[in-house]
Structure 1
C-alpha cells in the first residue's frame, strides 16, 4: 500500500473506508480509458463532441480529470484552473426519466412521432401511457412539403445501391449532376471517418476545381460552423456533413437563383436503422415551404453490415419499400434492448430512492451506511471496466440438444457470474450455413439473463449438413464487427461441424461466401480478441477448426457436452478469463468445478 493511499484512507476515517477504496479503484479503472476518449480543449475547458457541437458541460468522471492533468503536463493549462478540477467524482444517485411523473399535457415534443415503428409505439404506450388516442400531430404552418424523392426518377436516380469500391465514384457523379443543374448539395455520412475518407478520395478532389466545397464537422469552431451552414444553401456549394448535423441544423436558402433551379439537394450515403434519423436528414432541404430534393446512395457492404443479407433488387420505389420492411422487421432487437435498459434504470432509480430516504433521517450513521451501500452497488468490487463477451454458436439441426440446454444454462451462468460482481455484458450470435435462409441471428447486448434466454428460446435449429462445412466465419465476422463499435473482450465459439478452408461457390448457397475462418481468426488476433473454441461431438475436422481458432487468437480449445453444466462452466470460466479476474476464476472452480484447464 502506497503512502499516498494510506494518507487518503486516514483522511476519511473508518466510516468511509469502502468509499475511499472504491474511489481509488474507479480512478485506476478510468485511467485506462483516457486515450480512448477524444476531447477538445479551448485553453480553459475540456469538452466532448456531442451530436453536432462540443459540449463543455459534460464530464466523464475521472477520465475528464485526467484530461485536465494531461493539458497541465503539456503546459497548456494554468495550475489554479487545474486545482479547481481535481475533485473526487462522487455519484449521489441516478433517477430514471421513465419513473418521473409526467405533466398532463406536453406541447412541441417531436416532429418525427409519425415515424415511430410498432415496437417504439408500444414502448411509448407501455412506459408513458401515450397511445394513438393520447397524441395529436399538427400540420406544418408552411403547408404541404415541396420535397422530391421517389417521384423524381426522370431527373436523377433517387436510390442507388452499388459496390463499396464504386461508392465514392457514384456519390461524386450524383454531386456533379446536381451542380450541372444549378443546385447546391448536402452530403451526409454516417461518421466523421466516412466523411474524411470521401473527402480525401480522388473523386471528391476532382470536384473542388468546379465548385465551392466545405466540410461540416462537430470539431469546427462555432463561428466556422455557422458560416458553413449559411453558405451551404447557396448555388454551386457542396457541403459534406456528419450525420449529427442531420438533426436541427437549419440550411435555409436565401439564394433566388438556387430556388429557381429546385433548391438544395440532399444525398444520404448510409441507411438509417432509425426512421426518424432519415426523416431529419431528409428535412434539411425543402425548408419552410422551399423546393428541395433527396436521394440515397448506399453500398452493398454497408447494408450487409447492418444485417441486410439479401440485397434487394427492383426500381427505386421497390428498393426503398424492401429496406423499410427490413427496418421494421429488425426492430425487435431495439425493443429488447430498451426493455433491458428500462429494467436497469428502474433498479438505479429504486436504489437512489432508498438512499435518499436514509439521507432524510438526518442520522450520520444511517446516512453513512446508506451511502456506502449505494456506492458498493454502483461499482464493480474488482474495479474492472465493463467486460463484453460474445457467444458464437452453431444453430443447425444437429445442435438442437445443446440449444435446449442453453436456455437453462444461460440463466444459471449469468447469475453465478453476478455473485463475483464485475460489469459483464453478453451477446449471443447464432450461425448456420450458406444454404439456409437465416444465416445469422443476433441477440442484443445485455447483462440480463432473461433477455438472453428469450433470444435462445426463439431460435429454431435448422439446416446445415449435406455439404463441406458450416458458416463459422460469418459468426466470427459478426462478432468482429461488434468489436469495431465497442471493445469485445472475448469470443466463446461452440460448434459440431468444421468450417471450410477456402471460399467456395455452390448452387445450393442462398448467401455468398465472402471470407474464411482463417481470415477472420487473423483479424480477431490483430484486434487482440481470444476465441475460446469448443467442439461438440467427435469429428476430427471440427477439432481442427476449433484448435486453429484457439491457436491463432490466443484462446483455448476444448470438448463440450450438451448438458447444462458443461455450458455453464464454459460461459463462467471464459468470462472471468476475459475480464482478467483470476481470483474469481479460482474461487469459482473451488465452488463449482472439480476439473482444471
Structure 2
C-alpha cells in the first residue's frame, strides 16, 4: 500500500524504479559495490568509484531505488530511499568565491581539452612549474592481449619476470575482483608473504600495507586507490635495481588517470618503469593503442 501523500511521487518514480531494478540485476559485487559491515554490525551496500579513484564510499547511497534493489538482491535490510533536500553544483559553489581567491595545485591536470574546459567554465588561469629533478620514468610499449586468458598470462609473466630481476611491481587493476583473481593466480607461483593488497580504503590492514617501504621482489596488487595520491616509499635496495615497475591492466578513462597511475613510480628523481597490459576483448573494434587513446580523448572532449 502506498500512503495517499506519496502516490503522486510514486507515479513520478515508476520509470526510474523500473530502470534501477534492471540496473541492479546487471551490477557486479566487487566491481560496482562491495558488501561490508557498518558500525552496528549490519551488512550494507557500499559504492565503489572504480573508474576514477577506487574509493569505497562509506556514506554515499544511490538514488531512484537503486540502492534498495541491490539490498533486495542480497537479502539485506531494506532502508528508506533518501531524497536530496538541497543541492549546489560545483560551478555554482565556486562562483560564491571571488575570482582571484581560489588556487589549486596538481601534478596531473589532464588533457588539453580538460584544461580548456576548466579555463572556460571557471575563468581560471594556469601556471606550469617544472619538477625540481628530471623525470626518469621509462614507459614501455603497451601489450594488447587477444582475450582474458592471454591478458592474465601476460600480467603474471610480466610480474614474475620483474620480481626475478629483484624489482618490485605495482599492479593497478580496474576492479577489486581483478585484484582477487590475479592474487589467486600469483600465490601459486610466488610466496604470499611477498604480495600486498590495496583495494579497500575501508580496511585498515590494506591501508597500512602501502605505508611500508617497498622492497625488491615485492608485489602490490591494487585498484585505482593506488593510482591517485599514494606515495609509495621505495627502499634504497629497490632503487639500485631500476626502481618500481608499474603495470596498469586496463585503459584508464582519461589521460589524467593514466598519468596518475604511472606517476606512482620514478618520483622525486628516482628510477622507474610503467606499462599498460590490456585485454582486447574489453576495448571494442579498435586494434591499435594509439587509436584507442585518440578515441578516449575524443570521448572526453565531446562529453
Coarse TM-score class (shorter-chain normalised)? 0.7 to 0.9
Alignment of 1:76-225 (within 5 A): 85-86=79-80, 89-92=82-85, 94-100=87-93, 101=95, 103-105=98-100, 106-113=102-109, 115-117=110-112, 119-130=113-124, 134-140=125-131, 143-150=132-139, 158-164=141-147, 165-201=149-185, 204-209=186-191, 212-218=194-200, 221-225=202-206
User: How many equivalent pairs are there?
Assistant: 286
- Equivalent in 265, 274, 298 of residue 332 of structure 1: 298
Unaligned 5+ segments in structure 1 are 151-156, 313-322, 338-597
Q: Given that residues 184 and 235 in structure 1 are in contact (C-alpha distance below 8 angstroms), is that contact kept between their aligned partners in structure 2?
A: yes
Aligned to 2:208: 227
Q: Given that residues 259 and 291 in structure 1 are in contact (C-alpha distance below 8 angstroms), is that contact kept between their aligned partners in structure 2?
A: yes
Aligned to 1:49: 48
Unaligned 5+ segments in structure 2 are none
Distance in 2 between residues matched to 1:193 and 1:261, nearest whole Å: 31
Q: Given that residues 146 and 292 in structure 1 are in contact (C-alpha distance below 8 angstroms), is that contact kept between their aligned partners in structure 2?
A: no
Q: Given that residues 254 and 296 in structure 2 are in contact (C-alpha distance below 8 angstroms), is that contact kept between their aligned partners in structure 1?
A: no
| Superposition CA RMSD, Å | 3.6
Q: Given that residues 195 and 219 in structure 2 are in contact (C-alpha distance below 8 angstroms), is that contact kept between their aligned partners in structure 1?
A: yes
Distance in 2 between residues matched to 1:126 and 1:137, nearest whole Å: 18
Q: Secondary structure at the match of 1:64?
A: helix
Distance in 1 between residues matched to 2:129 and 2:254, nearest whole Å: 22
Indicate whether 1:22 and 2:12 are aligned. yes
Q: Given that residues 137 and 273 in structure 2 are in contact (C-alpha distance below 8 angstroms), is that contact kept between their aligned partners in structure 1?
A: yes
1:223-245 per-residue CA deviation (whole Å, 9 max, x = no partner) reads 12123213472222112222343
Distance in 2 between residues matched to 1:271 and 1:177, nearest whole Å: 22
Judged with a 3 Å threshold, the aligned counterparts in structure 2 of structure 1 residues 210 and 98 are, in CA distance, closer, same or farther, namely closer
Instruction: Give the C-alpha shift of residue 273 in structure 1.
Output: 4.7
Q: Given that residues 258 and 264 in structure 1 are in contact (C-alpha distance below 8 angstroms), is that contact kept between their aligned partners in structure 2?
A: yes
* Structure with greater contact order relative to length (CA < 8 Å, sep ≥ 6): 2
User: If the length of structure 2 is used for normalisation, what is the TM-score?
Assistant: 0.75
Distance in 1 between residues matched to 2:257 and 2:115, nearest whole Å: 16
Indicate whether 1:275 and 2:271 are aligned. no
Judged with a 3 Å threshold, the aligned counterparts in structure 2 of structure 1 residues 282 and 306 are, in CA distance, closer, same or farther, namely farther
Instruction: Give the C-alpha shift of residue 23 in structure 1.
Output: 5.8
Q: Secondary structure at the match of 2:272?
A: strand
